[in-house]
Structure 1
Amino acid sequence: MGMSVGSGSGGDDSDSYKPLAEINVTPFVDVMLVLLIIFMVAAPLMVQGVPLELPKTSASKIGAQKKPMVVSLAPDGKLYIRDEEVTRETLVSRLEQIKAQEGDSVVYVRADRKIPYGDVMELLGRVGDSGYARVSLLSQPAPSGASANN
């Protein structure tokens, strides 16, 4: 890209000179690509923060790990809350007691694959009746390459 020069007619040069009014963006793109590479390299270094030597304390951790709330339905039809066996009649009241002591958390429901679907749905309803809003079903992951019908 340059300037255009008129034909050499021998007349006045000021009439024949017409500058080319285009912007050459190639240097601009080159500079932007170099800046992009610099920022890509420098950004992870800025995340590190300032190296500090923090003081030691004897305070306990704030979020102590609680035992997960697992309700299990065994193949023989028995119900368990964690490792404690409960009856169908006392399931809701026991879950309400635990919720009052430990607070609201996720309830994980496990059931043997031979248990009928209706029984599992009844168990889910009872867990919901106890006041727990977040219920999750647990399953065993299938080995790779195996069908889900095993």
Structure 2
Amino acid sequence: MAVNLGSNDGGDLVENAEINITPFIDVILVLMIIFMVAAPLSTVSVPVELPTSSAQQQPRPDKPVYVSIKSDLSVTVGEDTLARADLGAALDGATKGNKEERIFLRADKGVPYGELMQVMNLLRGAGYLKVGLVGLEEMAGGAQP
């Protein structure tokens, strides 16, 4: 508690009931600065490999439509290599125009992420929004098949 030592007629000390919040504000400002500095450091990019998955295998359709990106960055629909500009027309033929059919996208391990995103943008631009990424299944113990 704070004590007021000002002049008093009776000579008795009067207690001051006000709370001093200055130290509290100082602590809050220091914490805010610490979090402002630490937040960008927590989002540092880390190199990752994404070829395997331990997720439960989903049932495949009778005739799945695969779009593949090979290591030389060529794109195939099924077994047919084609130009990226022809991807929408080839998918329309493979799915008989059904834009709701799931497209399975697979890429070689060495394909840059930007190339994968370009093909996904082409799929979205063609109206195919249901895209599944295909990877190798992880065996028990972390070994690949």
TM normalised by structure 1 equals 0.49
Deviation of 1:129 after TM superposition, in Å, equals 1.0
Match of 1:115 among 107, 111, 114: 111
Q: Which residue of 2 aligns with 1:32?
A: none
Unpaired runs of at least 5, structure 1: 1-64
Query: After superposition, what is the alpha-carbon deviation per residue over 1:37-62, rounded to whole angstroms, capped at 9, x for unaligned?
Result: xxxxxxxxxxxxxxxxxxxxxxxxxx
Of residues 73, 76, 87 in structure 2, which corresponds to 1:77? 73
Choose between structure 1 and 2: higher strand proportion: 2
Question: Compared with structure 1, are the counterparts of its residues 144 and 66 closer, same or farther at alpha carbon in structure 2 (3 Å cutoff)?
Answer: closer
Structure 2 CA distance for aligned equivalents of residues 81 and 138 of structure 1: 14
1:30-41 to 2 correspondences below 5 Å: none
Larger RCO (CA within 8 A; separation ≥ 6)? 2
Deviations 1:24-75 (A, max 9, x none): xxxxxxxxxxxxxxxxxxxxxxxxxxxxxxxxxxxxxxxxx74211100011
Rounded to whole Å, the distance in 1 between the matches of 2:63 and 2:90 is: 16
- SS of aligned partner of 2:71: coil
Highest Rg: 1 or 2?
1
| Ranges of 4+ aligned residues in structure 1 off by more than 6 Å | none
1:135 alignment counterpart: 131
Q: Give the CA deviation at 1:93.
A: 2.5
Superposition RMSD in Å = 2.1
Task: Measure, in 2, the Cα distance between the counterparts of 1:81 and 1:66.
Answer: 16
- Pair 1:98-2:68 in alignment: no
Deviates more, 1:115-124 or 1:84-93: 84-93
| 1:97 to partner: Cα distance | 3.7
Shift of 1:115: 0.3
1:89 to 66, 85, 107: 85
Is this contact kept in 2: 1:96–1:131, CA < 8 A?
no
CA distance in 1 between partners of 2:72 and 2:139 (Å): 26
1:127 & 1:83 partners in 2: Cα distance? 17
Measured in 1, the distance between the counterparts of 2:104 and 2:73 equals: 17
